[in-house]
Structure 1
Amino acid sequence: NNDWLVVNQFTVKAPGHTRRPDLVVFVNGLPLAVIELKDPQSANATLQSAWHQLQTYKAQIPALFHTNELLVISDGTDAKVGSLTAPWERMAPWRTIDGAGLAPSAVPKLEVLLKGVFEQERFLDYIRYFVLWETEDGFVKKTAGYHQYHAAQKAVAATVRASRPQGDRRIGVVWHTQGSGKSISMAFYTGKLILQPEMQNPTVVVITDRNDLDGQLYAQFCAAKGLIPAPVQAEDREHLRELLQVASGGVVFSTIQKFGTAKGERFPMLSDRRNIVVITDEAHRSQYEFVDGFARNLRDGLPNASFIGFTGTPIEFDDKNTPAVFGDYIDTYTIAQAVEDKATVQIFYEARLAKIALPEEKKPKVDAKFEEVTEGEEDTVKHRLKSTWAKLEAMVGTDERLALIAKDIVEHFERRLEILDGKGMIVVMSRRIAVDLYDAIVKLRPEWDAPAGDDEHGGIKVVMTGAASDPPSYQQHIRSKSQLKAIEKRFKEVSDPLKLVIVRDMWLTGFDAPCAHTLYVDKPMKGHGLMQAIARVNRVFKDKPSGLVV
């Protein structure tokens, strides 16, 4: 039996300070939560003043917070909860009591939060499975929001059901809108799942596309080391087979390409274990087209595995494949909910036209450039795209048009920076256009340029893949993994002079820079890919009011 105690005005003495937090929640003598309440009658009583009060306590009576898991603030009207290290903008509402639905607006928000979080069994479950810490940029403690907690609970229950002998192995799909913490939800789900006795030490296989392997999701799982075992990257199909034989289970990352086959080839069985769970990040029809027969090959390779999909965008109405592989929705968290909860910011759209007018003699013969335009695509996709994409790329990438685009972006973004400091991303059709647009922009703003090889300076960079065989003009923009990491770190730091990056498709998925507020799209995009791209600017950051897509 656990000993539960809530103390009002608990006195804490430290050298030079005596403080009395409003409420401290003790379990077995350990102070696990601190609640700061402001008088609703007072003109100065705001949620933010309650949060500032907690920051003062952390500085002056740190011993009280050595075992802290949650901070709660309320002004009598609103109530929010967050981790020990949560900045103000990461304090979040708790809008459900039991996860069955959102609480009626007539129920006070503090009541919903207290009943929703501190019901004894739920609170113990929460602090065991839904708190993790990261140490890459200092000590950061992260806790689940209400949508993450209940989605993971439902997903674990659905997984246990689906993997039983009588289960159909289709766990379902979790749709949580881009920017609302989908990666961390997957980590929470995995952490709780692997400790379920009925799963008997499962192996969790996380399927990503090739661009995301070193991205946010893998980093998130590596950072969650207190919650889940360290993930292992499968190097090839044979290595994946070996990892699936490990009886103690674990977490394995594999790219979707490892489940591709040559024409007429039947995918071999990798393991017939029942306690293998396959998580597909961004479970969408676009991924089935990316590698021919992906769904069938997964089934052939892992005939008794269960499948769950996590996605940041809704399944399209006419997409029959996704439900066929994964099942129906387990949980949804929409854009509207995320904006209302301030888990993401609103996104606004602004159209700016740069007309393409070319005389006949300037319309280039373009197919020779196609290899670099679609670098990384599958052959079947290349064949289908070749004619239309390459012709459009050539027209979009003329010197005259890029000069026009460069001038418009520079002037527009400088006006944006006058209002709000932050970062911008420019999405273009090809690496050639990325390089040429960079040249056009630094011609207008030479002070944004930096010598080749100098990644510590400069206000604009091109982020793209490349090889030694690429043209000389590309070489200064081709970087190693560690060099790209250094650029990424600069871009994520709002005070760093690096303000703009030009990308083709890198950083459009699995990349999180909350200070980015403007996205310039100069490339045909639609559906799922567009939704992923625009979410680069919907992250919450300090006083950023919204994101803009141009």
Structure 2
Amino acid sequence: NQFTIIEVSPSGVPQNKRPDLILFINGLPLVVIELKNAVDENATIKSAYNQLQTYKQTIPSLFTYNELLIVSDGWDALCGTVTSDFGRFMSWKTKDGETTADHLQPQMEVMFYGMLNKKTLLDLISRFIVYEKSDTKTLKKVAAYHQYYAVNKAVESTVIASSTNGDRRGGVIWHTQGSGKSLSMVFYSGKLIIEPRMENPTLVILTDRNDLDEQLHETFTNCQQLLRQEPQKAEDRKDLRKLLKVASGGIVFTTIQKFMPMQTDILQTENPNIVNEPSVEYIGADIPALSERKNIVVVADEAHRSQYDFIDGFAKHLRDALPNATFIGFTGTPIESTDRNTQAVFGNYVDIYDIQQAVNDKATVPIFYESRLAKVHFAEDEKVHLDEQFEELTEGEELSNRQQMRAKWTRLEAIVGNPNRIVKIAEDLVYHFEQRNAVLEGKAMIVCMSRRICVDLYDAIIKIRPLWHSDDDDKGTIKVIMTGSSSDTLNMQKHIRSKAKRKAIGDRLKNPNDSLKLVIVRDMWLTGFDAPCLHTLYVDKPMRGHNLMQAIARVNRVFTEGKEGGLVVDYLGIAQELKFALAEYTASGGEGKPTLDQELAVAKMLELYEAIDYQLRHFDWKKFFTLLPEEKLKFIPVIVNYIFSQENGEQSFTDNTKNLLKAFAISVPHDKAMAIRDDVALFQAIKSRLVKISDRNEGDAGGEEMETAIKQIISEAITADNVIDIFDAAGLKKPNIEILDERFLQELKDLPQKNLAVELLKKLLKDEIKKRTKINLVESKKFSEMLEDAIKRYHNGMIDTVEFLEKVLIPFAEQIKEADKRGEKLGLDYREYAFYTALEVNNTAVALLGDEILKHIAQELLKTVRNSTTIDWTIKESVQSALRRNIRRILRLHGYPPDLQEKAVDTVITQAKMLAEDFIKI
């Protein structure tokens, strides 16, 4: 393999077509890197990401073979694919896969050494990229660092375990829910299938429920390009036996139930040809071996005692059926410390990626916990008192075969399903969800104890909000997802759907733009269901242990930059179970908490609110709320002006408000959040003006996404302001920027808020200079240097605000205006004038030749360039070489100083490239 890295020269290449670094392997541009200046506070990782999005539009051919996109600000570095949104660009946290780099090491260095070394990069590109297709789009996904190293460890441990002296225990990979466990299983399977030492293995993907089997099978099926085959589903044990005999190996999906001993198994010990006897469970029987092969690997999803019931003998049945197979487990929650059986089957942990690491890496968002028990005033007979008696209930089915268990369940279900209680929960839930969705648009899942309660709660909710209901599965705001039978009541029947219809509703829930906002479930979708736009889980069902951990993880998926965390809302009293889960989690070696108390977010919110209030302590900002709407319009610029008058005031206010909005989004509808709702709305409005006026690039998560996410918190009073334009905000008529007329400059000069006037004019001038860069390179560079020098003197305190505005910025604007007229006075159009200034930059040439000869040279240069250019001339060296010769000839012909000619040629060529599109149009 030939590895090449190219730095794209800025000379003559338009900014929107110039990535910084391109990595080629065998001539293919596989990695594109965009870098930003580490010392420039406005050059952020987000701006680098935005630049890549521009390249995708302006030079799409560069991305035909692309595998990875990398952005860096000189310290931090993130990696994604051509379809990744900014929230899905991830860091690479280790150089060697063993030690996680600390925060003192530049992440760019860690990524370049850890991910871009030749061995890792080739491995990543060939075995760790998949495509996920839906009805509307195709996503390209690359493994995160924790997936990459865990899979390689798991492959190696499997090879060792399946060897002649191996113990057939491949280990357990514990990666917290939401961090990509299913895709890790895909990457593992794809790599193990082609591992030469495994000699064409067969992988048996084992789940404990049919719906999980379907979900995981769909994930694998979508990745056939990587797996090089279509995963098979074993319909029964006979089919499984047949698939295990395929010598070329393969991937087979099955459920644990197919390893249950049957009556057939007893008969087969006497007559092996009997295969069609009724499938009656026969506890205590030995299951016949399905295959003696040594290169069978059983990959168990959620390897837990309670999932596979190892205590009751399934471990034995698995070994009986596949005596020489190697077992490996993937789990999103830790194995209970008391569970010795699971480790006996699978072995010890191969890799751990816990909650703390996942949140730090932004692979998941934190989950916050809110108890609504105090908010919903239950009568004594409506209160639920959970104790250890109901521990078993949380692990079993609703209709247990054991009479005692059924009686306990019935008593508890009657309390939880009390009609008055359901009405109160419905009322509170509707209020809570509407308040929360007004701040952060998203979706919610409601978990109920029984199918009856699911239906009753649905009826109570649509009684409050009738428009949320629809008989059409493609419409409506709320749906119940459950299975059922023909014996169910008529009221239940209308919620029972086929698998295909449930999937269609699931797709609606996953689509953030669909009108479906809430689903009510009992068991379904609590594991294996991935809908990143879910931000709230309402719990009214007893759960514990890994079942509870799996359920709450429905809301920990990364979504938009506005989703700072998921929220679990408790109507039953599961706080104690969450504490037990935390104790188990910590005992297993995991760091971080499964849930964080919402009060932490509230405390942070109030801390930031107080910081902003303190910054404005000498200004009566609350006067805003006493004003008429038309007066409010004029008051915001006054606040903005005050903030600009403070040292670092704009940055401090912007940063604190941005973080306040994040904490506020998690805290709503807490009483303390609702109490400052209008104040937060005002702060957001002020922040928007500051950012718009200063043109400050916020760069990280919580920028424009958070602005749109907190869309509804602006109260009626503030909405009446409805200002977007910065000139309206300043009380000015928006100028024609090309003219910068004297009347506007005079209005700006007379504006009482001088700090605001300075910021407005600075922005105007920067925008004007930036626009001129393409039209006139030399002049824009001169103006840019002049403006930066003036701003530097202002910030250093050498001139005050009034002097800076009246003696520097306004005259500077007039100077730009005069520059526009200069070309006209010389009788040159803007292209000829651009070449004129390219020649005029040399004072010796001006003194020697004079204006008339320089004008004539500029006109000839325009004709020559126009006649020499083709569509792709800027990248053809032969065309550029010929053009250089012609330019030199013209300069010599008119007596341009010989020692200055080469510099003039370079400047003219660069200017010609900036005007390239104009020449092609001509």
TM-score (norm 1): 0.93
CA pair 384-238 structure 1, distance change in 2 beyond 3 A: farther
The answer for the alignment partner of 2:255 in structure 1 is 255
Q: Could you tell me how far 1:494 is from its partner in structure 2?
A: 1.4
Q: Does 1:358 align with 2:356?
A: no
Counterpart position of 2:124 = 126
1:548 pairs with one of 564, 567, 589:
567
Q: How far, CA to CA, are the matches of 1:378 and 1:432 in structure 2?
A: 16
Match of 1:251, SS state, is strand
Closer/same/farther in 2, CA of residues 12 and 87 from structure 1, 3 Å limit: farther
CA distance in structure 2 between the aligned counterparts of 1:398 and 1:230, rounded to whole angstroms: 49
Asked if 1 retains the 8 angstrom alpha-carbon contact of 2:170 and 2:328, the reply is yes
Contact persistence 1:215–1:510 (CA under 8 A): no
- The one-letter code sitting in structure 1 at the alignment partner of 2:75 is T
- Matched ranges for 1:485-524 at <5 A: 485-524=503-542
CA distance in 2, matches of 1:479, 1:334: 37
Q: How does 1:288-367 map to 2 (within 5 A)?
A: 288-289=308-309, 292-353=312-373, 354=376, 355=378, 357-358=380-381
Q: How far apart are residue 13 of structure 1 and its match? A: 11
How far, CA to CA, are the matches of 1:88 and 1:419 in structure 2? 21
Q: Using the TM superposition, give the Cα deviation of residue 18 of structure 1 relative to its aligned residue in structure 2, in angstroms.
A: 6.8
Query: Equivalents in 2 of 1:443, 1:212: separation in Å?
Result: 31
What corresponds to 2:218 in structure 1? 219
Greater RCO, CA 8 A, separation 6+? 1
Separation in structure 1 between the aligned mates of residue 167 and residue 255 of structure 2, nearest angstrom: 24
Distance 1:506 1:474 in 2: 16
Q: Aligned equivalents of 2:307 and 2:481: distance in 1?
A: 23
Cα displacement string for residues 297-318 of structure 1 (whole angstroms, at most 9, x for unaligned residues) = 1111000000000000111111
Q: CA deviation at 1:255?
A: 0.9
Structure 1 residues 290 and 456: CA distance shift in structure 2, 3 A: farther
Deviation of residue 374 (structure 1)?
7.1
Asked if 2 retains the 8 angstrom alpha-carbon contact of 1:260 and 1:293, the reply is no
Over the residues paired in the alignment, what is the CA RMSD in angstroms?
2.1
Which residue, out of 114, 117, 125, partners 2:115?
117
Structure 2 residue 267 is the aligned partner of structure 1 residue 268 = no
Change (3 A) 1:113 1:449: same
In the aligned structure 2, how far is the partner of 1:384 from the partner of 1:287?
Answer: 22
8 Å CA contact 1:425–1:502 kept in 2: the answer is: yes
Paired with 2:416 and 2:399, the residues of 1 have a C-alpha distance of 20
On the 8 A contact 1:12/1:18 being kept in 2, the answer is no
Shift of 1:66: 0.8
Deviations 1:157-179 (Å, cap 9, x if unpaired)? 00000000110000100000000
1:499 Cα deviation after fit: 0.8
> Is the 1:23–1:34 contact (alpha carbons within 8 Å) kept by the matching residues of 2?
yes
Q: Which runs of structure 2 are paired with 1:474-493 in the superposition (5 Å)?
A: 474-493=492-511
The 2-side partners of 1:178 and 1:500 are apart by 21
Report what 2:40 is aligned to.
42
User: Alignment partner of 2:380: what SS?
Assistant: coil
Q: Is the 8 A contact 1:423 1:515 kept in 2?
A: yes
Equivalent residue number for residue 185 of structure 1: 184
Larger radius of gyration: 2
Q: Please name the residue that 1:367 is paired with.
A: none
Which residue in 1 is equivalent to 2:389? none
Q: Distance in 2 between matches of 1:124 and 1:450?
A: 51
Q: How does 1:37-436 map to 2 (within 5 A)?
A: 37-136=35-134, 137-213=136-212, 215-228=214-227, 229-261=229-261, 262-289=282-309, 292-353=312-373, 354=376, 355=378, 357-358=380-381, 379=401, 382-383=402-403, 385-436=405-456
| 1:116-142: CA deviation from partner (whole Å, max 9, x where unpaired) | 111111111111100111222422111
Of 438, 451, 457, the match for 1:437: 457
CA distance in 1, matches of 2:198, 2:379: 59
Return the TM-score normalized by structure 2. Answer: 0.56
3-state SS of 1:283 partner:
coil
CA distance in 2 between partners of 1:296 and 1:377 (Å)? 27
Contact 1:11 1:18 in 2 (8 A): no
- 2 CA distance for matches of 1:416 and 1:317? 38
Residue pair 1:203, 1:250 contacting (<8 A) in 2 also:
yes
Per-residue CA distance 1:240-268 (angstroms, 9 max, x = gap): 11110011111111011112232222112
Deviation at 1:335, TM superposition (A): 0.2
Q: 2:221 touches 2:230 (CA, 8 Å); kept in 1?
A: yes
Secondary structure at 2:537's aligned position in 1?
Answer: strand
Q: Please list the CA deviations of residues 342-390 of structure 1 after superposition, one character each: whole Å capped at 9, or x if unmatched.
A: 000010000112536339xxxxxxxxxxx9x9768774xx456312122
Task: Find the counterpart in structure 1 of residue 784 from structure 2.
Answer: none
2:316 and 2:213 map into 1 onto residues whose CA distance is 26
CA distance in 2, matches of 1:165, 1:389: 50
Report the Cα distance in structure 2 between the residues aligned to 1:387 and 1:376, rounded to whole angstroms.
11
Counterpart Cα distance in 1 of 2:248 and 2:9? 45
Alpha-carbon contact 1:17-1:60 (below 8 Å) kept:
no
Q: Does residue 480 of structure 2 align to residue 462 of structure 1?
A: yes
The offset of 1:106, in angstroms, is 2.8
Identity %, equivalent residues: 57
Letter of the 1:196 counterpart: E
CA spacing shift, 1:397–1:106, aligned 2, 3 Å: same
Q: CA 1:531 to 1:374, structure 2 compared with 1: closer, same or farther past 3 Å? A: closer
Letter of the 1:497 counterpart: S
The answer to whether the Cα contact below 8 Å between 1:183 and 1:216 also exists between their aligned partners in 2 is no
TM-superposed CA distance for 1:82, in Å, is 1.0
Hey, which of these two has a bigger chunk of helix by percent?
A: 2
CA distance in 2, matches of 1:318, 1:67: 50
Query: Residues 308 and 286 from structure 1, CA distance in 2 versus in 1: closer, same or farther, beyond 3 angstroms?
Result: same
Residues 273-299 of structure 1, C-alpha deviations (whole Å, 9 max, x = no match): 000000110001212338932111111
Quick one: structure 1 residues 374 and 155, their matched pair in 2 at CA, closer, same or farther if it must change by over 3 Å? closer
| Change over 3 Å in CA distance of 1:58–1:391 after alignment to 2 | same
- The Cα of 1:40 is off from its aligned counterpart by 1.5
Secondary structure of the equivalent of 2:125?
helix
Question: CA–CA distance in 1 between the matches of 2:405 and 2:289?
Answer: 33
The separation in 1 between residues aligned to 2:410 and 2:481, in whole angstroms, is 21
Distance 2:214 2:85 in 1: 24
Letter of the 2:179 counterpart: S
Contact 1:256 1:291 in 2 (8 A): no
Question: Which stretches in structure 1 are left out of the alignment for 5+ residues?
Answer: 360-370
Q: Is the 8 A contact 1:464 1:503 kept in 2?
A: yes
Q: For residues 99 and 54 of structure 2, what CA distance do their matches in structure 1 show?
A: 36
Aligned residue in 2 for 1:533: 551
Counterpart CA distance in 1 for 2:309 and 2:18 is 60
For the residue of structure 2 that corresponds to 1:358, the secondary structure is helix
Q: Aligned equivalents of 1:376 and 1:62: distance in 2?
A: 55
Q: Secondary structure at the match of 1:254?
A: strand
- Deviation of the 1:145 alpha carbon: 0.3
1:6 paired with 2:29, answer no
Q: Name whichever structure is richer in strand by fraction.
A: 1
Residues matched between the structures, number: 532
CA distance in 2, matches of 1:215, 1:421: 30
- Structure 2 residues not aligned, in runs of 5+: 262-281, 383-392, 570-922
The answer to whether the 8 A contact 2:530-2:554 is kept is: yes
